[in-house]
Amino acid sequence: MALGTALRKDAQRVVGVDILDVHEQCLPIARQQLGLQALPENLYLRKISPGTALTIYGTFDIIYSWSVFEHVAQDMLDRAMGSIFDALNPGGHFFLQISPLYYSPNGSHMMPWVTDPWAHLSMQADVFRQRLFEAPPTSEKVRNEWAVYIPMEANTAAERDALWETYETLNRVTAPQLCRLALASGFEIVRDYRTKVDTEIPQHLADAYNRETLLTEQVVLLLRKPASA
């Protein structure tokens, strides 16, 4: 998305940050798929440490987070939202999307390997882990799609270890919790869009969890930093 914005939207400066080394994959993929020999000069991709203040890169009119916020550690959610607020210019916007949310049918993020809806909420943890580790070999297509989580050189054992760590560190944030977090950080909510699944909820989960939480698969928030902030 950062590359597309830099190439197509005439942005003065596009900065992409991640705590992983995934930015190193950008040029090879762009070379293969788009024929680019170099990344555009207005694109800056950086690896950062968790908790790094985003203002070290300046301030911005727009910040976005696409299926990332569910991976922020629980004890850093407030700080992450506040850091984004601080890095926006007054009147700037933050576009935040998460899918799938943790309590939705595929909220474990392990869908290619454990396909049962809500498996992570229904199975014992050791059984769920066993299902993941004993799943059939991962196709090349899925490996490419999941390159953020799976090191390209990883064998099957290392791949499953990486996937399990990804699952274990999901923060379980819900859409209402995310809205409260945004408001507490000073944002105005311009748009709150959610999508739901129509999958039938097993009775044992309906007994234990909120129905809306189980069915809400995606949340998309458009947040605004007040012009007076």
Q: Which of the four CATH numbers 3.40.50.970, 3.30.70.60, 3.30.1950.10, 3.40.50.150 does domain 2-103+173-202+211-224 have?
A: 3.40.50.150
Give me the count of residues in the chain.
229
What pLDDT, on the 0 to 100 scale, is given for residue 183? 99
Q: Which token pair is 200? A: 């039938």
What pLDDT, on the 0 to 100 scale, is given for residue 29? 84
Which of the residues in the chain have pLDDT under 70?
none
Domain borders along the chain are: 2-103+173-202+211-224, 119-168
What pLDDT, on the 0 to 100 scale, is given for residue 23? 81
What pLDDT, on the 0 to 100 scale, is given for residue 35? 93
What pLDDT, on the 0 to 100 scale, is given for residue 119? 98
Per-residue model confidence as pLDDT tens digits over 91-134: 999 999 999 999 999 999 999 999 999 999 999 999 999 999 99
First-residue to last-residue Cα distance in the chain: 28
Inter-residue contact 88 to 59 (CB < 8 Å): yes
Q: Which token pair is 127? A: 């059984």
Burial letters for 108-141: b for 16+ Cβ neighbours within 10 Å, e otherwise?
bbbebbbeebbbbbebeeeebbebbeebeebeee
